[in-house]
Amino acid sequence: MKNLLFLLLCTISGIAAGPDLPHLREDYDYIIIGAGTAGGYLAHRLSTADSKKSVLLLETGPNTLSSGGINEMENPNLFSLVPGNFVENVAQSRTNYLYTIAPQAELENRVLTYHRGKGLGGTSTINYMAWVKGYKGDYDEWAHIADDAEFSGTEGWERIKQLESFDPTGLPASYSRYAVPDLSNHGNSGTIHNSLPKNPIPGLATFIDGCIEAGIPKSLDINSGKNIGVGIAQMAIFKGARVSSATQCLNSEGDLGAGLRKQSNLHIKVETKVERVIFEGLKAVGVQVVGGRIYRAKREVIISAGFIDSPKLLLLSGIGPKEDLEILNIKVVSDSPNVGKNMLDHSTILLDPIFKQDLQVPTSNSFWQEPDHVLWEKYKWAHSYNSGAGEGMGEMTRFGGSSAIAFIKFTPEEREQWPEWEALTTEERARFLDPDRPDTEIFYFLGYRPPGKVIPMGSEQNSYARLFLLQQNNLSRGSISLKSADPAEQPLIDPRYFSHPYDVRIAVEAVKAAVKIFKTKALSACFVGMEFVGATEDPPFIRDCPEREEKNHEKGKLTGGFYTNGIDLTDDAEIEKWLRKKGLGQGYHGMGTCRMGAAGDPLRVVDSGGRVVGVEGLRVADTSVIPVVMNNHPQVSAYLVADVIADSILRDV
């Protein structure tokens, strides 16, 4: 009965579920595989360009926009939009593939979980919402590799401005000296909204002050196109709620998103997994989904399944390295040796600065300790949001809704001291010496209590911040490959973190730089120390007993008032050992596995229009096509890819 009701609700909303509903057509002008960040926006672009052209959007995961059929306070779709609910949101297998990556040889064979969004909106429904455009020079490099100025730091940047709508208002006046965005760098009438925080988290201004004291320049606009500096992050938040490609582009009547309604010529089918692309000769003519049903494309098939599943689907469809496909008895349609190769990613180091207890800082960690208060704040947010008619208010917009970012760069003199620097090629050195290209992003936000974490009886958890140190220009290269010809089996995901020695050096130096920042006068006035528990363990709860707390205070006195637990910062070898054992983690910013390139590029899989080289009628449009490691957060790049490729498709009509 519940399933019947769900199907009925989905049909009424214009979004169908399951592979066997007879009312859906069998053929469409365009078929898009994947309703993620790029796929959802691409579907919007194609369906609004020509109402006479039919578009079918196929998505493996659920309808994340539905508001009907359940009690509001029990609707996971509603609370996936709450900025402060991001930790619980990302833990849901319903909307997260929760992939596991291959044992990492350079990280003591650790196996890590890799988050990827599942359902309408894809990873834009579970990410941290930071809207970070990045460095214009990266876009120029991308344009050079693709031989297409539409991705450049001029034309590409203008496209991003056109697709975004930035709200510079709302930041409290007391923070005005930290953010004065140059509106010439931003759009204000596009589909994808972003904004400055209206309710900044504790310690945000202090973090910026500490970075400035440590010599990092202040950035009044973190999205100016030159990354180096520290400032307030702009967030993909609109009306106090998460912004995703789904909330902004794919709404049907009664849905939860505050963005645009989908067009009537756009047909969306959720909970439908594509097993392979169908070819007639070298031309893609449709797709086969689980259950055997085939949908035909009169014009083109576009794969927008993300940097993991797009190469997986190409391989399952017979496009990839000939020898690898033949071993798995997959019929070779096109020998494309670089499908799944060239995986690029940021890697992440998690650090936990500890607030001085006597400050009684109201962090999200303590917030989640009071279930009744949390429930009240959820009611407040839901009531004020009113399914997008109003604006979500309260503490649920504070925790998860704001952060600060510092992009740091090491000096040429520092690099000359590193043996790993000497081993780099001339081209690599020139790239790293670009004065505007950062080495590491330090992302400041607040600690949180993970779902299911129980605080020991008789103890009081500490208040703490959390730092993500994202290594921006890793030289390590990974891959995506098939384990078998079974479409249901997860592919082999191997980022090969730390496989290049220079990445190790940058990570070691980033840890030391972060601690140096927190030893400044501004930050040491608020923080007593830093815990090094690693990327795969629970956040620290150091105040388990008075004796431990006293030891930390004594340790702080011996180290200038700031202690560190879990690492010896005086020995680079010890820092490296900690990073390999538990400190370094996955970046969740994968790209490059269906690399874009110009004619003659031996590494390319697609051209600048996303066309898969060697076949016809098939494109890839998502972050898998990006050929360089971008110094940004990849949702921005995903929208740009979709926008450029949409125009390429429309020009080819």
Query: What confidence tens digit (pLDDT) does each residue in 576-617 have?
Result: 999 999 999 999 999 999 999 999 999 999 999 999 999 999
More confident residue, 354 or 453: 354
Average pLDDT over residues 411-439: 97
- The boundaries of every CATH 3.30.560.10 domain in the chain are 192-241+346-544+554-585
On the 0-12 / 13-18 / 19+ scale of CB atoms within 10 A, 359 is middle
- Is 553 one of the annotated active-site residues of the chain? no
Rounded-to-integer distance, Cα 387 and Cα 303, Å: 31
Predicted TM-score (pTM) of the model is: 0.94
More confident residue, 202 or 403: 403
Q: Band the pLDDT of 3: cuts 50, 70, 90.
A: very low
Average pLDDT over residues 320-334: 98
Asked if 197 and 399 touch (Cβ cutoff 8 Å), the reply is no
Checking if the pLDDT of 361 tops 50, the result is: yes
pLDDT at 366: 64
Checking if the pLDDT of 174 tops 50, the result is: yes
Question: Which of 434, 77, 361 minimizes the C-alpha distance to 247?
Answer: 77
123 annotated among ligand-binding-site residues: yes
Q: How many CB atoms lie within 10 A of CB 105?
A: 13
- The proportion of the chain whose per-residue pLDDT surpasses 90, expressed as a percent, equals 73
pLDDT at 566: 74
Average pLDDT over residues 433-447: 93
pLDDT at 17: 67
Read off the DSSP letter of residue 579.
I
For domain 192-241+346-544+554-585, the question of CATH label 3.40.50.720 is answered with no
- The boundaries of every CATH 3.50.50.60 domain in the chain are 27-66+81-125+245-340+592-623+633-652
Average pLDDT over residues 208-224: 98
Average pLDDT over residues 271-292: 97
Q: Which fold has domain 27-66+81-125+245-340+592-623+633-652?
A: FAD/NAD(P)-binding domain (3.50.50)
Can you read off the two tokens belonging to residue 240? 């106090």
Name the residue with tokens 């020139």: 430
Q: Which of 186, 267, 500, 589 is catalytic?
A: 589
* Average pLDDT score over the chain: 89
Average pLDDT over residues 621-635: 98
Q: Band the pLDDT of 356: cuts 50, 70, 90.
A: confident
Name residue 403's amino acid.
S
DSSP string, 468-495: EEEE-S----BEEE-SSS-TTSPPEEE-
pLDDT at 348: 96
More confident residue, 46 or 569: 46
Q: Band the pLDDT of 39: cuts 50, 70, 90.
A: very high
pLDDT at 465: 84
Which alpha helices (DSSP H) does 451-558 contain, by range?
A: 501-518, 521-524, 546-558
> Tens digits of per-residue pLDDT, 70-115?
677 788 899 899 998 887 888 889 999 999 999 999 999 999 999 9
Asked if 295 and 332 touch (Cβ cutoff 8 Å), the reply is no
- Is 633 one of the annotated active-site residues of the chain? yes
- What is the sign, positive or negative, of the torsion defined by CA atoms of 413, 414, 419, 422? negative
Name residue 385's amino acid.
Y
Instruction: Supply angle C-alpha 86, 538, 406, rounded to 5.
Output: 60
pLDDT at 365: 59
Residue 86: partners with Cβ closer than 8 Å, 6 or more residues away:
126, 128, 129, 400
Rounded-to-integer distance, Cα 266 and Cα 264, Å: 5
pLDDT at 559: 55
Checking if the pLDDT of 388 tops 60, the result is: yes
Checking if the pLDDT of 567 tops 90, the result is: no
Checking if the pLDDT of 20 tops 60, the result is: no
Q: How many CB atoms lie within 10 A of CB 611?
A: 21
> 604 vs 146, 312, 472, 607, CA distance in Å?
9, 16, 22, 7
Name residue 649's amino acid.
I
Q: Band the pLDDT of 216: cuts 50, 70, 90.
A: very high
Which 3 state secondary structure label does DSSP give 74?
helix
> Tens digits of per-residue pLDDT, 477-518?
999 999 999 999 999 999 999 999 999 999 999 999 999 999
Average pLDDT over residues 292-304: 97
Rounded-to-integer distance, Cα 432 and Cα 473, Å: 8
Rounded-to-integer distance, Cα 419 and Cα 505, Å: 9
Average pLDDT over residues 454-459: 44
Checking if the pLDDT of 649 tops 60, the result is: yes
623 annotated among ligand-binding-site residues: no
pLDDT at 551: 63
Q: Which of 44, 193, 267, 633 is catalytic?
A: 633
pLDDT at 73: 75
- The proportion of the chain whose per-residue pLDDT surpasses 70, expressed as a percent, equals 87
The residues that bridge with 532 in the sheet, in sequence order, are: none
Asked if 530 and 464 touch (Cβ cutoff 8 Å), the reply is no
Checking if the pLDDT of 454 tops 80, the result is: no
pLDDT at 459: 40
Average pLDDT over residues 334-350: 97
pLDDT at 545: 35
